[in-house]
Structure 1
Amino acid sequence: MKNIFTPENAAMLLIDHQIGTMGWVGSISFEAMKKNALMLAKAAAATGIPTVLTSSMEEHAQGPLLSELKDILPTEFENRILRAGIVNAMTDPNFAKAVEATGRKKIIVAGVTNDVCTVYPVITLIEQGYEVQVVADAGGSPTQFADEMAIVRMRDAGAVITSTNQLIAEIAQDWSTENGSKLLNVIVEGFQS
């Protein structure tokens, strides 16, 4: 398999996993989306994948980021990029700088909602020469149709669409390694929750 994403070559962007915004999603249950987003955060923390968190207008209807992210990725949570309503996170200079500072050209993206907060930064990243995998089940959209259209648009732009378990298995490659063992624990915990 070519172009494998690994802890050594990839960075992760978790976009707008905010209580209010997640409540607007109808294409996947709140609990499933939350579980998947937290599994991604745990996978990044366990393997040292550079991670950038961002939120938009936390003091408004979008609400705060998931509080569990503070426990899983405390430094990243503290340094999260607070956007003032900018839809395409990649047009926020602070966010774009944080992505560039990871030094990685392979980017894992999960966001809420897929049809607004994920689609535009993904397209921009691809236009800027990044390889992008979108973890579609760690996000969602208000309707199934909106989610499908976002996924089609991102895939047509060149993104690889994946799922949480599939992405974690890809970055593990071998469950018997140190990272593989850590990631297997993340998956097992995810199934038990």
Structure 2
Amino acid sequence: MAHKRYSPENAALLLIDHQIGTAGWMHSGSVKEMKRNTLALAKAAAALGMPVILTSSLENEAQGPLFPELETILPEAYANRIRRLGTVDSMADPNFHNAVKATGRKNLIMAGLLTEVCVLYPALSAVEEGYDVQVIADASGSGTKAGDDFALARVRQAGGYVAGTIQILAELVEDWTTGAGPIVQAVSADLYAAAAAADTENQG
């Protein structure tokens, strides 16, 4: 399957179940890094004027609320978030499905918690429906590294793509020097700086 370049004009961002409690179940990688990348996606989407859909599952249970920073970065999307009542595959939730369809975009950027549950199944459903899907692996995470690997492999087998946060930010920006380019470049630079700081801390 030939990949077509994603742009702010043809893509939508879906952030699935980035909830405080659910983040505590993630052990496939760094929760701090996952959260930084998630917020970077949100900031870039806001700067680029892309459609964003936020969804949560069982906010009043152990999963808890969405990351509070998302309300600051994406106030409208946060206010309009789809609050599911336990549906695993968010594409099976009529409100979420209709919101995705209403964007008019066929290219979907997905990230969420947990990859092996609440990202995998909507990604598979979206591909089956004819959407082009990129799962952003480092803005997602699973209970184990193996669980993450298995889920991402299944996305690829179904015809979806797997990418990293900085990769998709670079893909979305036509030129770092025009429009929202400088803002997105600054967001990317912050991620590089955070990675360098973490590496220095680990070496120390």
Give the structure-1-normalised TM-score. 0.97
Q: Which residue number in structure 2 is paired with residue 86 of structure 1? A: 87
Q: Which residue number in structure 2 is paired with residue 102 of structure 1? A: 103
Q: Which residue number in structure 1 is paired with residue 45 of structure 2? A: 44
Q: Which residue number in structure 2 is paired with residue 140 of structure 1? A: 141
In structure 1, runs of 5+ residues without a counterpart are none
Q: For 2:137 and 2:35, how far apart are their aligned partners in 1?
A: 12
Q: For 2:79 and 2:139, how far apart are their aligned partners in 1?
A: 21
In structure 2, runs of 5+ residues without a counterpart are 195-204
Equivalent position amino acid for 2:45 in 1: A
Q: How large is the RMSD of aligned CA atoms in angstroms?
A: 1.2
Q: Secondary structure at the match of 1:119?
A: helix
Offset of residue 2 of structure 1: 5.5
Q: Which residue number in structure 2 is paired with residue 189 of structure 1? A: 190
- 1:127 aligns to 2:162 (yes or no): no
Q: For 1:129 and 1:61, how far apart are their aligned partners in 2?
A: 34
Equivalent position amino acid for 1:111 in 2: G
Offset of residue 35 of structure 1: 0.2
Q: For 1:98 and 1:189, how far apart are their aligned partners in 2?
A: 31
- 1:168 aligns to 2:153 (yes or no): no
Q: Secondary structure at the match of 2:88?
A: coil
Q: Which residue number in structure 1 is paired with residue 58 of structure 2? A: 57
Q: For 1:106 and 1:177, how far apart are their aligned partners in 2?
A: 23
Give the structure-2-normalised TM-score. 0.92
Offset of residue 128 of structure 1: 0.4
Offset of residue 173 of structure 1: 3.1
Q: For 1:50 and 1:6, how far apart are their aligned partners in 2?
A: 11
Percent identity over the alignment? 51
Equivalent position amino acid for 1:143 in 2: T
Q: Which residue number in structure 1 is paired with residue 6 of structure 2? A: 5
Q: For 2:9 and 2:95, how far apart are their aligned partners in 1?
A: 23
The CA deviation string for residues 22-60 of structure 1, in whole angstroms up to 9 with x for no partner, is 111111111000000000000100001100000000010
Q: Which has the larger radius of gyration?
A: 2
Segment drifting more, 169-178 vs 155-164: 169-178
Equivalent position amino acid for 2:165 in 1: T
